[in-house]
Structure 1
Amino acid sequence: MEELFPSRLSTLGHPQRLAVFRLLMRRYPDRVPATELAMALGLKPNTLSTYVSALMQAGLVTQERAGTSLRYAIHMDAARETIDYLLNDCCRGRPEICAPLSNPNSVAAAPMDDRRYNVLFICTGNSARSIFAESILRKMAGDRFIAYSAGTNPRSALNPFALDVLKQKGHDLSVLRAKHVTAFQGADAPVFDFVFTVCDRAANEDCPPWPGQPISAHWGLTDPVKMEGSDAEKSLAFQQTYGALHNRMTGFTALPIASLDRISLQKAVDDVGQTKEEEDPA
């Protein structure tokens, strides 16, 4: 086992291989299609193949075939082993440096306090999916959560089909607007407890880390804005997206947040994001 770590570190020493690794870490536990990886990183397919082959040989990435598509995911046990290798080696020589990370009572391990939590939902346009998520959480559990949403490339206006669905469901539309994610990155911005991406494109982007060590997860959903067809077909796509987010929010708000350690909480919110998209509840 010991001889594996220099090979893994050497593999990650290449900037583009590291970029693939980091993107897959952001998308964990998703399996990401090779075409999506190549597009997100601006790589030619054969170049990406070379990089993921090296990561697979080092044991850091796994591959799965779905039909004609190859999908990749982080081998999380191997990633943890590699990080632990560095951490433990450091702590033997300079334990005072590692104390905040290695202490089981540290912020990274301790449960959250029982209070009102700040939650941010991010997608690209901030015109439908993240707006749905913000509105649903505010209405469902506004006494326990303060919900926000933003986009990495926000549209100038909210999608009219999304607004129609929210109006039908009795949500307050007056508080909604499309905003750039940088609006929540200044010194006076809220400190978030949870940050969720709800579209693959936003999750693939390399954003700076959020202060306060929020729990983050990817709850990717099909973009209803891209639905083609009649107005009735488009409306149905938005209803289904709303329903999927409503189901996930039901699972999220049911979590015993204050009693879970952060590792268990991270797994729980990851699991919520893996629930299948279903039709809108009645």
Structure 2
Amino acid sequence: MVLSRQPVPPFLQLAAHPLRWQLLATLSGGDYRVREMVTLVGESQNLISYHLRLLRDGGLVRATRSSFDGRDSYYHLDLDRCTQMLAGTGTALHPALGPGPAPPPFDPTPPVAVLFVCTGNSARSVIAEALLRRHTSGRVDTVSAGTRPKPGMHPNAVRVLREEFGIDIAGRHPRHLDTLADSPFDTVITLCDKAREVCPEFDDTRWIHWSIPDPAAAGGTDEDTYPTFQATAAEIDIRIRYLLPALTTEPVIRSAR
């Protein structure tokens, strides 16, 4: 009896190529532009662009236009899609290789300090700070700051954290990055393309960039932009959940800037 040939799961088809795997591994550490991946991976721009297109078409990688320089795009992993495809790959081989038990509670040893940076420190970085603190029950020393802080919190940032996550940041005020210049951090995460370009170096620090557009940039009333804040907070929440294992298991890596 000859068994029918089973199709190779899509994740394996996409990730089995050595260069595509290297690109996925690179993007697992943060968001990068094509020219930065050329430097990090050591292959030509045309070749990297070709394989990035295949990864995009397969749903593993997404691209967002830089909010600092519209001629550039940042590539990043679609983490939820990767998780779904990986789970499907295991199940296709054997039912016992499907999704396993939930990971144990996050408990970093030694303590970890994380800084989130955007321009105004009134929305994205504040949301990230609040969500990391929530996901770790305060076991991570988490702060946020801005390179050009706004006078106050954006009302929709306060609202989305309260309504979607039950977090109250009323009374919180934006902080200037300069006030943290002498503070040590294990990880610095920029969430704003402009802030990434001007953020100063921190010694012995892992750098990660998340290219997340400013939810208030489109303008309009607070009611008009609130759905964008909801989508932004949801994306940041996904990234935070996938960040946790990396905080204690990955080596210090500096972003190519």
Residue matched to 2:206: 215
Q: Is the 8 Å Cα contact of residues 116 and 143 (structure 1) preserved in structure 2? A: no
Q: Is the 8 Å Cα contact of residues 130 and 198 (structure 1) preserved in structure 2? A: yes
Q: What CA deviation, in whole Å up to 9, does each residue of 1:114-157 have, x standing for no partner?
A: 22211000000100000000010111113431110000000011
Residue matched to 2:175: 179
Deviating 4+ runs (over 3 angstroms):
59-66, 69-73, 228-233, 256-263
Instruction: State the percentage of identical aligned residues.
Output: 29
Q: What is the deviation of 1:229?
A: 4.1
> 1:239 & 1:163 partners in 2: Cα distance?
11
* Aligned-residue CA RMSD (Å): 3.4
Correspondence 1:68-83 to 2 at 5 A: 71=72
Higher helix share: 1
> 2:73 & 2:135 partners in 1: Cα distance?
35
> 2:246 & 2:121 partners in 1: Cα distance?
29
Question: Tell me, what secondary structure is at the counterpart of 1:120?
Answer: strand
Residue matched to 2:189: 196
Output the amino acid matched with 1:225: A
Correspondence 1:67-106 to 2 at 5 A: 71=72
Correspondence 1:15-164 to 2 at 5 A: 29-31=32-34, 62=45, 71=72, 114-164=109-159
Relative contact order higher in (CA < 8 Å, ≥ 6 apart): 2
Describe the shift of the 1:72–1:225 C-alpha distance in structure 2 as closer, same or farther (beyond 3 A). closer
Q: What is the deviation of 1:257?
A: 4.2
Residue matched to 1:166: 161
Q: What is the deviation of 1:170?
A: 1.2
Q: What CA deviation, in whole Å up to 9, does each residue of 1:252-273 have, x standing for no partner?
A: 11x154444446xx79xx9xxx
Output the amino acid matched with 2:201: P
Uncovered stretches (5+) of structure 1, i.e. residues with no partner: 1-26, 33-54, 74-112, 271-282
Question: Tell me, what secondary structure is at the counterpart of 1:209?
Answer: coil
Q: Is the 8 Å Cα contact of residues 191 and 211 (structure 2) preserved in structure 1? A: yes
- Residues matched between the structures, number: 170
Scaled by the length of structure 1, what TM-score is found?
0.52
